[in-house]
Amino acid sequence: MNQLKIIFAGTPEFAATILEVLEKSKHQVIAVMTQPDRASGRGLKVLPSLVKQKALRMDIPILQPTSLKLDGAFITEAMNAKKQIENLDFDVMIVAAYGLILPQWLLSLVEAKNELGCINVHASLLPRWRGAAPIHRAILAGDDQTGICIMKMAQGLDTGSIIAQETMQIKSLDTTGTLHDRLAFQGAQVLIEVLDKLAKQEKFVLVEQNQAGITYAEKIKKEEARIEWQQEVNQIDRKIRAFNPSPGAFTTLNQEIIKIWMSENISDRWQKHQTSQPGEILEVDEFGICVAGNKGVIRLLEVQKAGSKRMSASQFVKNMQLKPGHVFQ
């Protein structure tokens, strides 16, 4: 068996990248599961997920159950999805940022097909950062490295045995956006290696997750993105990078919300000695806006006023007529 028939379950861009790489492999995606179309954006326009958009272009059948629980609020949808899956001729199921809990009936159904069962692609070095937002949380915490885990899914939240993993360094200027893109591509590559090995019926040595060092990557809340200027500068810088591209770190100036997209910690280069309060603008020039934090100075490089486009901090200074002494709140 050189080619595997795959059911792919995923929803956002991370999953869409993996699906695209799978399409170019020797394996065949015969069906895609993704979350129902939902309203998003300012106009609350109902849009399909990025995985659905890609599956439509690839002409792959799509399943969009609201739930897979046979005893929940959407029993009819779940039963229909179960019948459709049972009627599919497939070898393995790949899950990447799907967003729905897979019940035991589905895990058991797939495990009967192959020894790895449902294979999950997760963007962290498990057991660190189980859960919904591992990339954001790794940057926020100041981790030096992260990576990809290919895992055999179990009933708990990211608790399954590790099939394969690969580390990746977190660079000093990495945002969630840049790290996300590298991890998605890395995840796809490691996944293909696992699938090729599975197709050749090679044996796997699965590793149980270490119970020490478990952390949880809770969903990101918008209020977390507010910059606390009383924090140390390295924490402020990590927050700005972690919330780029979403939801965007923000502060206020004259009661207007200002989003901060890019920054750099220049504490080690700041030679001037002056008394200042956290959030105070110390200097504005063609390079950016230098702002005091706790125990250091941060330079804002890219900002956005509500209702406007992103712009360089130097252009923002001209538009807002900022001066030293103004204070971000």
Confidence at residue 188, expressed as pLDDT on a 0 to 100 scale:
97
Handedness of CA 170, 174, 180, 182 (dihedral sign): negative
Q: Residue 273 above 70 pLDDT?
A: no
Handedness of CA 68, 190, 115, 207 (dihedral sign): negative
Confidence at residue 36, expressed as pLDDT on a 0 to 100 scale:
95
CATH superfamily of 5-217: Formyl transferase, N-terminal domain (3.40.50.170)
More confident residue, 224 or 156: 224
What is the residue-averaged pLDDT of the chain? 93
* Nearby residues of 277 by Cβ (< 8 Å), 6 or more positions away: 292, 327
Give 135-183 pLDDT, tens digit per residue.
999 999 999 999 999 999 998 899 999 999 999 999 999 999 999 999 9
Q: Residue 81 above 80 pLDDT?
A: yes
Give me the phi and psi of 144, to 5 degrees please.
Answer: -80, -25
Nearest alpha carbon to residue 251 among 266, 284, 229: 229
Q: Residue 1 above 70 pLDDT?
A: no
Confidence at residue 83, expressed as pLDDT on a 0 to 100 scale:
96
Reported residue count of the chain is 329
Task: Please report, for the chain, the start and end positions of each structural domain, with discontinuous segments joined by +.
Answer: 5-217, 224-320
Residue 33 pLDDT grade (very low, low, confident, very high; cuts 50, 70, 90): very high
Confirm if 200 and 262 have CB atoms less than 8 A apart.
Answer: no
Burial class (CB in 10 A: 0-12, 13-18, 19+), 321: exposed
Confidence at residue 274, expressed as pLDDT on a 0 to 100 scale:
66
Q: Residue 195 above 80 pLDDT?
A: yes
Q: Model-level pTM greater than 0.85?
A: yes
* Nearby residues of 163 by Cβ (< 8 Å), 6 or more positions away: 116, 119, 150, 151, 152, 194, 204, 206
Number of Cβ atoms within 10 Å of the Cβ of 287: 15
Task: Report domain 224-320's class.
Answer: alpha beta
Confirm if 183 and 168 have CB atoms less than 8 A apart.
Answer: yes
Confidence at residue 321, expressed as pLDDT on a 0 to 100 scale:
75
Mean predicted confidence (pLDDT) in 272-285: 82
* Same fold: 5-217 with 224-320: no
Exposed e or buried b for every residue in 290-315, given b needs 16+ CB within 10 A? bbbbeebbbbbbbbbbeeeeebbbee
Confidence at residue 17, expressed as pLDDT on a 0 to 100 scale:
97
Mean predicted confidence (pLDDT) in 244-257: 93
Mean predicted confidence (pLDDT) in 187-206: 96
Reported as half-sphere exposure (CB side, CA atoms, 13 A), residue 114 has a value of 27
Confirm if 188 and 122 have CB atoms less than 8 A apart.
Answer: no
Confidence at residue 319, expressed as pLDDT on a 0 to 100 scale:
76
Confidence at residue 267, expressed as pLDDT on a 0 to 100 scale:
86
Q: Residue 261 above 80 pLDDT?
A: yes
* Nearby residues of 241 by Cβ (< 8 Å), 6 or more positions away: 139, 173, 174, 175, 176, 263
Mean predicted confidence (pLDDT) in 74-88: 95
Percent of the chain at pLDDT exceeding 90: 78
